[in-house]
Structures are given as C-alpha cells and as structure tokens.
Amino acid sequence: MLGFRNEYSDTADTKVLTPRRYAGAFSLLTLVLQVLLASGMVGCAHTPEPGTQSPSDASIHELIETTSFDQIVDRVVRRMGDIVTAKTDDAIAKKKLNAAQMQIFEEGRKDMIAAIYAEMSWQHLEPDVIDCFKEFYTQREVNVLIRFYRSPPGAILLSRVPTAVMVMNEKNVDEWTKIRRTQGDEAYYDRISHDLNAAMAPRDIDGIVAFYDSDIGREIHQAADQAEAKFHQSVEAHLFAAMERIKPMAVALNARIKAAE
C-alpha cells in the first residue's frame, strides 16, 4: 500500500518515502555550507601549513552564530520534510483509503519524518561541522570569515540564504532526480550547484568578489573544497542512519494500513 524503496532499488509499489527523495536536500545543504565558507567557488585541495594554529572552539561557534548555520541546517531539513509530505499527499490521493487507513497513514508518516528530523538535527551534525573547521581552517581564516560575514558584503550574501533554501522545492527536486537518473551524479550536482548559485547571487557582488580575490580569500575558498567534501560524507552517513531507522517503520505502517481495509 505504501511502498518504500531503498537507496539502491529501482522498484516500489508506491514511490512515497525513499532516501532518494532526500538526496537533493542534503546535496543542497552541503553546497550552502560551501557557499557560506567560500562564496560557492570550488578551490583546489588545501591543508593548513604545519605549525599553523587551528581555530578554537569559541571562534568556530562564533562563526556558526554569525552565519546562523545551525538555523540553515534546520531550514533545509524541514524544507525537505515539507516536500515529502506534499509528495506523499499526492500519492495517497490516488489510493482509495478509508478514514481509518488515512489516520494510520498520517500518524505513521509523522513518526517517520520525526525520526529523520531527529537523526539530521543540528545536535547530530554540529560535531562534524566543528571537525571540518579544525581540520581544514586556520584560526586566522576563521577570524577573517567572522569579520567578512559581519561586513556589508558578507551580510548581503547571508541575506540570500533563505532564497537559496527555497530553491529546494518539489519541482526542482523532481528535475534534479530526473537529471541524476538520465545523466549521472556529476550532472546532478552541477545542476544543483547552478540553481543554488543563481539564487545566492546578490545584485551587488563587488565587495564579495573583492574579498575572494584577496590572498586570504583564495586561501579560504581552497579550504572550503575539502571541508565541503568531508561534511558531505558526514551528512550521507547520518542520512543512511535515518533511512535505516524508518525502514521497519514503513513496513509496519504498510501492514497496519492493509489490516484496516
């Protein structure tokens, strides 16, 4: 009744709750991280020179607070939950469920989305974000980022983040999924990056370009590439854990709906 397809399966009775429906969201999340740290530009591999000071926890938390990155994470996760809710509503509307079945479905869906929220919460992701900063950034770079995002150009860039999150909508997620299926992962990520950067681009970019054309700006955007890649792996691991949590919940929900026929 309520099909559940795992990440590596191509078939399902009803494509309602699947890990692939979350892939676009968390690809977007990691790209938002990259944009915040390096204005969306991909740099070459960067590792702080031996002997350079790694950033303190206090300064990392100050940067997170300045950029509101914890709130961005929450926005992205909840935005994807909204999309899944809309898609499951569309799928269930095609089924002839009685009142009891609809109540069971709504309660079960609520529990599964809550389980995903719990696994992908900022509380779970924060240690990985801090590790990325400690591994790939110096104290000087974090200090410069804090000053930049408190400056007018940085504030302009941050003001575009809510618009970027809105790029993750049902229409775009469907389009991204189609591109991944027909053209592969590289084209999929390129399209998400293109759509995100288009949404993030402010009208006045002179100050932003000037910052990232500076020596320290180039160092920072080099660091962002490795940091983004590592955080992407972390998000994928948490997403996999979330999917493992909801698999038995989906099976049980299917059984309950069938029993209420």
Q: Whole-structure pTM over 0.85, yes or no?
A: no
Are the C-beta atoms of 101 and 93 separated by less than 8 Å?
Answer: no
**Residue 168 lies inside a defined structural domain of this protein:** yes
pLDDT of residue 92: 80
**Residue 90 lies inside a defined structural domain of this protein:** yes
**Residue 199 lies inside a defined structural domain of this protein:** yes
**Residue 83 lies inside a defined structural domain of this protein:** yes
**Residue 69 lies inside a defined structural domain of this protein:** yes
pLDDT in tens, 226-257: 677 777 788 788 888 888 888 898 888 889 98
pLDDT of residue 15: 36
Residues of the chain with pLDDT under 50: 1-24, 36, 38-46, 51
Which residue range is the domain that position 147 belongs to?
20-39+52-259
Number of domains in the chain: 1
Q: Of 74, 81, 160, whose CA–CA distance to 123 is shortest?
A: 74
**Residue 221 lies inside a defined structural domain of this protein:** yes
Q: Of 129, 113, 80, whose CA–CA distance to 235 is shortest?
A: 129
What CA–CA distance (Å, rounded) separates 196 from 203?
15
